[in-house]
């Protein structure tokens, strides 16, 4: 009986070791959770850093592209401006050449200026022309594109009916000479001229506006044009 009582009063010999193991186990679990959370945080941080780096690279790349496009646009505009300036200068020089260095008239003459009738050339279809001034530039051929100045008069009374000079010397452009959208007398009469030259065209009704006339040009009218070729292409 006394042995039984002493056995009950003594604590179990294995319990303290078991509690220590449980504490160690819990401690290890906490460490494991800390390691897991730490790894997760590091992974998230790396992902964020990676995404930020990609965005920064894209932004930098976009800036490079924008700068390149801007520089290309500036270069293209500069070339375009230079081309326009060169074209304008070329046309201006051509006008000076065509007018013998004189300023462009502010208006076309009201009546045909005198011309040397001894130089008149008569063609079988009735067209006549006089080379008032022979140009030294490129020759007008079928299919050429030309810019010209001109003044037109009625042969009957010498009255002016049209002039490019009356429009501040605005050049008149013809494309595909020979089949251009002008009267036949022009399509035929401009061929053979040279840039810088002036030719007087005396055009019969059949090669002009015929029996119907046009605006200030009456029916069956013979008309006169002084045409100066400024450029030929």
Q: What is the pLDDT of residue 22?
A: 78
200 Cβ partners below 8 Å, 6+ apart?
Answer: 112, 115, 129, 130, 132, 224, 225, 226, 227
Q: For 138-154, what is each residue's pLDDT tens digit? A: 999 999 999 999 999 99
- Domains in the chain: boundaries: 1-98, 117-232
Rg (the chain; Cα; Å):
48
- CATH code for the structural domain at 117-232: 3.10.50.40
Torsion of CA 157, 220, 205, 232, to 10 degrees: 60
H or E element that contains 199: strand 198-203
Specify the pTM: 0.58
Query: In the chain, how long is the greatest CA-to-CA distance?
Result: 167
- State the pLDDT confidence band at 43, using cuts at 50, 70 and 90: confident
Q: For 190-203, what is each residue's pLDDT tens digit? A: 999 999 999 999 99
212 Cβ partners below 8 Å, 6+ apart?
Answer: 219
Q: For 3-40, what is each residue's pLDDT tens digit? A: 444 444 544 445 667 777 777 778 888 888 888 888 88
Q: What is the pLDDT of residue 62?
A: 79
Q: What is the pLDDT of residue 16?
A: 62
Is the separation of the CB atoms in 142 and 191 below 8 Å? yes
- Tracing tokens 């040397």 back to the chain, one arrives at 116
Q: What is the pLDDT of residue 72?
A: 65
Mean pLDDT over the full length of the chain: 82
- State the pLDDT confidence band at 1, using cuts at 50, 70 and 90: very low
Round to whole Å and give the CA distance between 70 and 77. 10
């Amino acid at each position: 009986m006394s042995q039984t009582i002493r056995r009950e009063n003594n604590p179990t010999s294995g319990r303290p070791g078991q509690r220590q193991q449980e504490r160690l186990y819990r401690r290890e679990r906490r460490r494991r959770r800390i390691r897991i959370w730490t790894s997760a945080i590091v992974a998230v941080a790396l992902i964020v850093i990676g995404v930020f780096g990609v965005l920064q690279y894209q932004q930098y790349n976009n800036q490079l592209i924008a700068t390149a496009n801007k520089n290309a646009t500036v270069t293209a505009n500069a070339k375009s401006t230079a081309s326009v300036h060169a074209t304008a200068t070329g046309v201006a020089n051509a006008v000076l050449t065509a007018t013998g260095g004189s300023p462009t008239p502010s208006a076309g003459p009201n009546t045909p200026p005198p011309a040397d009738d001894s130089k008149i050339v008569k063609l079988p279809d009735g067209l006549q022309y006089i080379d008032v001034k022979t140009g030294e530039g490129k020759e007008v051929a079928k299919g050429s594109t030309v810019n010209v100045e001109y003044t037109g008069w009625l042969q009957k009374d010498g009255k002016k009916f049209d002039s490019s000079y009356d429009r501040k010397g605005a050049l008149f452009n013809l494309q595909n000479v020979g089949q251009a959208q002008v009267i036949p007398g022009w399509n035929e009469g401009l061929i053979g001229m040279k840039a810088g030259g002036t030719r007087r065209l005396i055009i019969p009704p059949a090669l002009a506006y015929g029996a119907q006339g046009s605006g200030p040009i009456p029916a069956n009218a013979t008309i006169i044009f002084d045409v100066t070729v400024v450029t030929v292409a």
